[in-house]
């Protein structure tokens, strides 16, 4: 198995985890304020990863801190706009609009790294764009402030993917991940203290959901992304991540009772086809 194929299988595996986070976060937001939630989530993630790799964290260089700081700011802003937006829109719709990062990633890569996408990637992106259009256009789903925030989130995550491609080469992936988590913790707790009325109702369901999001969707998923994304391209990574809205729609239906109409099903199918076209393309 080639390094790229192995990397893309790992990225696909964490996409399965991330697909469940929209419905879970939507559930949590009924009991915890969004910025405080981000701060607590990343504080727990920092503690877990830091305890696992104490020796490597202690030897972190200033260069890794600098790179982690930039990535951490982008990661926090992406999570903040997405999480706040979730308060005003559905979990499924949030996931679909966030999935638009597949459109913005090759544009960001072209501007930042001067690397144009391959033909197969372009065809896959077009199919995914059409799929996402159908997924976000069912009757009654008018564009609102929550959708706008998730669109900003898609741009921020696209930038994050491209800069991660730049910064992860030659860096210790654990150190780079911890540095990001520390920045997200500080920004989350600081902005929560200044910008919102902190609310937290620690029921067993809320604590269990928070633990799941911390361990699986943050520590494991982001560490895997930082470790393996450098072995493929940002554009191919973004196309893999575009499966996330389809998975999120399934979880939103099971956990929250959110429904997709025929156009949503069609859109999901086009996304899968787009991913396959991009993944099976040469180069």
pLDDT tens profile 18-51 = 999 999 999 999 999 999 999 999 999 999 999 9
Beta bridge partners of 32: 200
Mean pLDDT of 245-271: 83
- Beta-sheet strands, E only, within the chain: none
- Cα angle 22, 179, 160; round to 5: 50
Query: What pLDDT score was predicted for residue 139?
Result: 56
Query: What pLDDT, on a 0 to 100 scale, did the predictor assign at position 268?
Result: 78
Give me the pLDDT at residue 274, please. Answer: 82
Taking the C-alpha atoms of residue 120 and residue 273, their distance in angstroms, rounded to an integer, is: 12
Looking at residue 109, what is its pLDDT? 86
pLDDT range class, residue 265, cuts 50, 70, 90: confident
Residues 6+ apart with CB under 8 A from 232: 4, 7, 8, 11
Residues shown for the chain = 283
What is the mean pLDDT of the segment spanning 134-144?
A: 68
200 forms beta bridges with: 32
The predicted pLDDT at position 276 comes to 75
Instruction: Name 152's Cβ contacts closer than 8 Å, sequence gap at least 6.
Output: 81
Provide the pLDDT for residue 141.
Answer: 61
Q: So where are the chain's domains? A: 3-116+142-232+242-258
**DSSP assignment letter at 231:** G
CA distance 283 to 275: 15
Contact predicate 273/129, CB 8 Å: no
Q: Which residue has the higher pLDDT, 11 or 246?
A: 11
Query: Residue 135 above 80 pLDDT?
Result: no
- Whether the pLDDT of residue 283 is over 60: the answer is no
C-alpha span between 190 and 239 (Å, rounded): 33
Instruction: Give the whole-angstrom CA distance, residue 163 versus residue 222.
Output: 14
* pLDDT of res. 119: 84
CA distance 25 to 20: 9
pTM over 0.85: yes
Average pLDDT value over all residues in the chain:
89
Please state which of the ranges 119-123, 206-210, 247-251 shows the lowest mean pLDDT. 119-123
pLDDT at 244: 86
Higher pLDDT, 71 or 138: 71
Cα separation, 94 vs 246, whole angstroms = 11
pLDDT at 282 over 80: no
Tell me, what's the pLDDT at 84?
96
Amino acid 63: pLDDT: 95
Estimate the crossing angle of helix 234-241 against helix 145-168, to 10 degrees: 140
Model pLDDT, residue 120: 82
Q: Tens digits of per-residue pLDDT, 43-61?
A: 999 999 999 999 999 999 9
**Of 105, 168, 100, the residue nearest 130 (C-alpha):** 100
Report pLDDT for 159: 95
Q: For 163-200, what is each residue's pLDDT tens digit?
A: 998 998 888 999 999 999 999 999 999 999 998 999 99
């Amino acid at each position: 198995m080639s390094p790229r194929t192995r990397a893309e299988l790992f990225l696909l595996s964490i996409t399965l985890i991330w697909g469940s986070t929209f419905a879970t976060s939507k559930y949590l937001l009924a009991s915890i304020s969004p910025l405080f939630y981000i701060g607590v989530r990343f504080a727990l993630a920092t503690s877990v990863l830091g305890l696992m790799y104490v020796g490597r964290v202690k030897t972190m260089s200033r260069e890794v801190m600098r790179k982690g700081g930039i990535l951490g700011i982008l990661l926090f802003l992406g999570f903040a706009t997405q999480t706040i937006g979730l308060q005003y829109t559905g979990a499924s719709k949030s996931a679909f609009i966030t999935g638009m990062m597949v459109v913005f990633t090759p544009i960001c890569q072209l501007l930042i790294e001067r690397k144009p996408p391959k033909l197969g990637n372009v065809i896959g992106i077009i199919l995914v764009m059409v799929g996402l259009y159908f997924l976000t256009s069912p009757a009654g789903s008018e564009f609102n402030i929550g959708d706008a925030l998730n669109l900003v989130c898609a741009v921020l995550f696209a930038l994050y993917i491209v800069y991660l491609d730049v910064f992860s080469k030659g860096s210790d992936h654990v150190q780079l991940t911890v540095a990001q988590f520390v920045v997200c913790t500080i920004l989350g707790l600081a902005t929560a203290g200044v910008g919102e009325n902190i609310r937290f109702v620690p029921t067993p369901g809320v604590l269990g959901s928070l633990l799941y999001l911390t361990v699986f969707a943050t520590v494991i998923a982001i560490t895997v992304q930082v470790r393996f994304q450098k072995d493929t391209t940002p554009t191919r990574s973004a196309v893999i991540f575009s499966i996330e809205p389809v998975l999120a729609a399934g979880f939103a239906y099971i956990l929250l009772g959110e429904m997709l109409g025929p156009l949503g099903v069609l859109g999901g199918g086009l996304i899968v086809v787009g991913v396959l076209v991009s993944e099976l393309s040469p180069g």
